[in-house]
Amino acid sequence: MTYAKIDTVGRARLRPLAGVLAALLVAHSGTRISAIAIPWFVLVTTGSATQTGLVAFCEMGPYVAVKAFAGPLVDRIGPRRISWIADVVSAAAALLIPLLHAEDMLSFKVLLGLVAVIGTVRSPGDLAKDVMIPEAAELSRVPLERATGLQGVFERLAGTVGPAAGGTLVGLVGPMVGLGVNAVCFALGSLIIAAALPRGMGRPQKHPAEKGEGTHDVQDGYWHSFRQGFAFLRRQPVLLTLYAMLGITNLLDAAYVAVLIPVWAKGSGYGPATIGLVLASFSITATVGSLIAATVAHRLRRRPVFFLGWLVAGAPRFLILTTDAPLWCMAVVIGIGGLGGGFINPIIGAVTYERIPPEMMGRVQGIGDAITWAGIPLGGLLAGAAVAGMGLAPALLTAGAVYFLTTNLTGLRPEWREMDRHRGKGRAGRSQPASSAS
């Protein structure tokens, strides 16, 4: 076989995983752009911080709520079709905002409605892309830890490129252009899903989840499927413990980004530019960590790497802001945290994808995502109340202590020993094909 033919075969084999990751990148980048463009548009046109916060809530509220109930639909209809439909509707809703604004027909109520539509349909779309990762990894013959490591890389890239592009677009040409680019990103994501993924990928699957436990049929009624997801999750203590832990850390991370960093930047005199520096220090090194994890994580023991990652990525970010350390020192500490954080999501993805049967992936993952995201809308509210009630430094110390206790001392619980139990296996206990890259 010639080298050219080998290369062609290799590209064809990697097409499923590359397609899902590319769709994930452009969709998440568009979301990050709109996260800057929409609040800025509301703030400069109304001057109201309350209305700006209301717009953000109208997107994230439906996003979290719908994710809990979207899983059975993803399993029933298929993640490929759900992802395509969600991206098309999101593109249309995002495009309507600048079009209506140009015609002077965009009232605040209409804006809230369109933002709610985007949050509602984006939720099952994001879930569907996550659900397709393990199947894409299997079809591409890529180890699951490597695939989830690459997923983390692409998500971190979207978290770095999206805000940078959004800030630049909004600053140079205004928020409406940013929303137009957001619509293009969603449309491009739908085209990638339609054109790049194999036709047979992402279809509803019907086969036993576990030997001796019968068949979980995606054609069952919606509520029966929903109850199946809860029933399965109750039998998985490691997943329940993981989701509960992530629910707390996501709440604290939301408080950190939405309130604690801005209050620190203003009170320290560094100004708003340092907010970007702090977030970029973590995001860039987290991308590097995810790249390293994609290369070597499948050869490492998961549990020690997982908790070491939390040790450096969690509490130090909060505690360093309570000191008088120079800015470069803070950036180094936060950057080291990002490097450790890059290893966390690949392990989370591998553990969840391995333990959840393919035909139940949507309903169980949807419930899990809803649990882990439930505190995000409350993070800023709680942080604001804490800063007002006790001051910034005590609020940071409290958040850092809770982060440490949640992510490290809980590691002593016996459920975590199951993290390595499925090591070397594919989804639902099937053999994972070896990577040809090694």
pLDDT digits (tens, 9 = 90+) for 178-222: 888 888 988 998 888 887 776 656 565 554 443 444 444 444 577
**Is a pLDDT exceeding 80 seen at residue 359?**
no
Cα–Cα separations (whole angstroms), residue 287 to 207, 218, 257, 281, 319: 36, 36, 18, 10, 23
391: phi > 0 → left, psi -120 to 50 → alpha, else beta; which?
left
The vertex-379 CA angle with 377 and 384, nearest 5°, equals 120
Residue 422 CA to its chain's centroid (Å) = 23
Q: How many helices (H) and strands (E) does the chain have?
A: 17, 0
- Looking at residue 431, its pLDDT comes to 33
Instruction: Give the residue carrying structure tokens 């399965």.
Output: 232
Helix (H, G, I), strand (E, B) or coil at 431: strand
- Looking at residue 66, its pLDDT comes to 85
Mean pLDDT across the chain: 77
pLDDT digits (tens, 9 = 90+) for 74-111: 878 888 888 889 999 999 999 999 999 888 888 888 99
Distance CA 144, CA 347 (A): 9
For the chain, list the domains and their CATH numbers: 1-142+162-199 (1.20.1250.20), 219-421 (1.20.1250.20)
Q: What is the pTM of this model?
A: 0.67
- Give 8 or 296, the one with higher predicted confidence: 296
Per-residue tokens: 432: 């994972």
- Give 134 or 56, the one with higher predicted confidence: 134
Please say whether the beta carbons of 337 and 313 come within 8 A: yes
Q: How confident is the model at residue 402 (pLDDT cuts 50, 70, 90)?
A: very high
Burial of 220 from C-beta contacts in 10 A (0-12 / 13-18 / 19+): middle
Looking at residues 393-403, what average pLDDT do you find? Answer: 93
Distance CA 375, CA 357 (A): 27
At a CB cut-off of 8 Å and minimum separation 6, what does 9 contact? none
Residue 118 β-bridge partners: none
Handedness of CA 139, 140, 145, 147 (dihedral sign): negative
Handedness of CA 24, 340, 324, 318 (dihedral sign): positive
Percent of the chain past pLDDT 90, that is, above it, reads: 9
pLDDT digits (tens, 9 = 90+) for 115-137: 899 889 888 888 888 888 888 88
- Give 274 or 239, the one with higher predicted confidence: 239
Residue 215 β-bridge partners: 208
**Is a pLDDT exceeding 80 seen at residue 391?**
yes
Burial of 430 from C-beta contacts in 10 A (0-12 / 13-18 / 19+): exposed
